[in-house]
Structure 1
Amino acid sequence: MEKPEKPCAPLTCPIVRSVRLIGDEWVLLVLRALFRGAHRFDELQKQTGAATNILTNRLGRLVEGGLVVKSPYQERPVRYKYELSPSGVALFPVVMELMRWGDQWLPCENVAPAMLLHTECGKLSRPGQQCSECGGALTPRNIELVESEEGAARAA
Structure 2
Amino acid sequence: MEKSLKCAAPLSCPIVRSALLLGDEWILLALRALFRGPLRFDDLQKQTGAATNILTTRLNRMIEGGLVEKVPYQERPPRFNYQLTRAGRGLFPVVLELMRFGDEYLQCEDAKPVRLRHADCGKLSRPGQTCSECGKPIRLGNVTLEDS
Which residue does 2:125 correspond to in 1? 125
Please report how far the alpha carbon of residue 46 of structure 1 lies from its aligned counterpart in structure 2 after TM superposition.
1.1
Compare 103-112 and 118-127 and name the one that shifted more. Answer: 103-112
Q: Secondary structure at the match of 1:141?
A: helix
Q: Check if 1:142 corresponds to 2:128.
A: no
Please report how far the alpha carbon of residue 122 of structure 1 lies from its aligned counterpart in structure 2 after TM superposition.
1.0
Q: Check if 1:21 corresponds to 2:21.
A: yes
Cα distance between partner residues in 1 of 2:103 and 2:138: 17
Please report how far the alpha carbon of residue 130 of structure 1 lies from its aligned counterpart in structure 2 after TM superposition.
1.2
Q: Secondary structure at the match of 2:70?
A: strand
Point out where structure 1 has 5 or more consecutive residues left out of the alignment.
149-156
Higher relative contact order (CA 8 A, sep 6+): 2
Provide TM-score, normalisation by structure 1: 0.86
Mapping for residues 92-103 of structure 1, pairs under 5 Å:
92-103=92-103
Partner deviation per Cα, 1:76-123 (whole Å, 9 max, x = no partner): 000011111111111000000000001101111233655311123210
Deviating beyond 6 angstroms after TM superposition, the runs of 4 or more aligned structure 1 residues are: none
Cα distance between partner residues in 2 of 1:38 and 1:71: 9
Please report how far the alpha carbon of residue 35 of structure 1 lies from its aligned counterpart in structure 2 after TM superposition.
0.4
Q: Percent identity?
A: 63
Q: Secondary structure at the match of 2:140?
A: coil
Point out where structure 2 has 5 or more consecutive residues left out of the alignment.
none
- How big is the alpha-carbon RMSD for the aligned residues of Structure 1 and Structure 2? 1.6
Query: For residues 20 and 61 of structure 1, do their structure 2 counterparts lie closer, same or farther at Cα, with a shift above 3 Å needed?
Result: same
